[in-house]
Structure formats: C-alpha cells, structure tokens
Copies of this chain bind each other. A is one copy, B any other.
C-alpha cells in the first residue's frame, strides 16, 4: 500500500539575510547530528532516480529522510517513499524557482526528528537554486549526458558552488555527442575542487562510489 505522503506548502521567506540563516541552520543541524545534502540539476537530469539508488545503498547505515521540492506535484515524494521506504515529505514552492534556508528549515520541521542524513531535492533549475544557500553541508549537482558536455560553461554559478558533480545517464553516452573528458575539464574550469563521478542511476553504475564519497564526508 503506498505510504501516505505529507505535503507542505512553503511560505515565502521574509528574511533579508539568507546567508546568515543558512549558516545558523547548518550549525544547528551539525549539533543535532544531521547531515544535509542539497541536490540540484536541470529538470529531468535524474535527481529522483539517483536519490532512490543512493538511499537504497545507504539506508541500512543511516536514518534517512527526503524532502522533495516541486512546484505542485507530489510524484517524486511518492516515488522515493515507495521505492525506499524512508521518511519523505513533498515541499510545494508555490511557483518559486528555488529554496532558501528558511524554506529548507520549514521542510526539516515537517520531516521531524531522529534522522542523521537528509536529502533535499531542490527545484529542477540550473540558475536560481545556485544563488541561495539552503544550509546544506554538501551541494551536489547532477548533469545528464543528453544535456550536453558544455553545461558547466553555460551555467557557471551552480558548478562553482557545488562539492560534487554527478554526470548521469552515462549508459546513454554512445547515443549522444558527449565528450566525458571535455565535460570534466569544463567542470574543473569552474571549480577545480569539485569531485566528479560519472554514474548511471538507471543501471546502478558507480552509485557505490557516490555512496562511499558521501560516507567519507559525513564521517568528517
């Protein structure tokens, strides 16, 4: 029977200083032993499928929660809950193109306590989410092969700000004109410190490597 999904209608933040609120949220979460991962990408790059694959690997080791931001459907939260059984809430942004730290805190309140790893699936958008610190401890951007190897050159900020870049749908690389080394160089040009892992959420390729990377970051 499908798990009942709670949907939260986020209200627009009234706070001017998002950076200060994000820093405070990050510190508060760290004190409570919660590691928060912000997941960003274009629409359709595979955020939800990647989260399902990752959570399946990690759920025996961590108490995991998921916040799925969307403009108005609840499809993703239902998918994650059904596929993994972890606690999941749907956040409705009311048409807003990003989440900030206060909206993230609203979602965390709804998700409840007792978790040690929380994933926030941000709105599918390569521009606006990069401009707002959510308070996450780790920012992950997913680029998918069909989008093209030039995206890091065209959407600079999101690559500059993230710790981890997954190049997803790598199983389809034979079908598209996508140069993996060129793409890695384009990411490095924006952010030499970012870790890049090519994956296929569909076939599971390299999901172990992503899980290992997350574990190493959580245990720091």
Question: Residues on A close to B: CB < 8 A?
Answer: 42-45, 70-73, 75, 95, 97, 123-128, 131, 144-148, 150-151, 153-157, 169, 172, 175-176
A contacts with B: majority SS? loop
| CB nearest neighbor in B for A76 | B154
Contacts A124-B155, A125-B126, A126-B124; A150 near B97 (Cβ below 8 A): no
Q: How far is the CA of A157 from the CA of B73 in the complex (A)?
A: 13
Q: How far is the CA of A45 from the CA of B144 in the complex (A)?
A: 11
Q: How far is the CA of A153 from the CA of B79 in the complex (A)?
A: 15
Residues of B within 8 A of A70 (CB): 154
A127 touches which of B44, B71, B147, B148 (Cβ 8 Å) = B71
Q: Decide: A72 and B175 in contact? CB cutoff 8 A.
A: no
